[in-house]
């Protein structure tokens, strides 16, 4: 487990770190799918943690690939601009479906609490 965990951490950083691109993320998803076949089903705490690491990595990769824009500290080399028209909202992943969850507009700065 230590070997694949270290590789997973390195690949997560390479594919999902601050600078990203679609091709690298698609390759990372292929790696994750192959890794899923090598990790046993969760039968104890260690294997449950292994599966959780894999599931979180997969969800991060799917979300990052879906969001074809640069936002905050994450920069897409293939989509360098922020795109509020297409991506204003929270990314939501349910099974194999990825989409946006609407967010409310922020309050104007003139309103005090």
Q: What is the pLDDT of residue 53?
A: 93
Q: What's residue 5's pLDDT?
A: 85
CA dist., res. 4 & res. 35, Å (int): 8
- Reading the block at residue 57, the tokens are 């990595």
Q: Which regions of the chain are under pLDDT 50? A: none
Q: How much is the pLDDT for 81?
A: 94
């Amino acid at each position: 487990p230590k070997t694949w965990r270290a590789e997973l951490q390195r690949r997560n950083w390479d594919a999902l770190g601050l600078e990203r691109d679609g091709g690298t993320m698609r390759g990372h998803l292929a790696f994750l799918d192959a890794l899923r076949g090598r990790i046993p089903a969760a039968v104890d705490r260690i294997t449950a943690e292994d599966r959780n690491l894999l599931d979180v990595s997969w969800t991060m990769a799917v979300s990052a690939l879906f969001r074809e824009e640069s936002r905050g500290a994450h920069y897409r080399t293939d989509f360098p601009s922020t795109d509020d028209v297409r991506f204003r909202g929270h990314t939501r992943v349910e099974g194999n479906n990825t989409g946006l969850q609407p967010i409310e507009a922020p309050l104007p700065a003139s309103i005090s609490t």
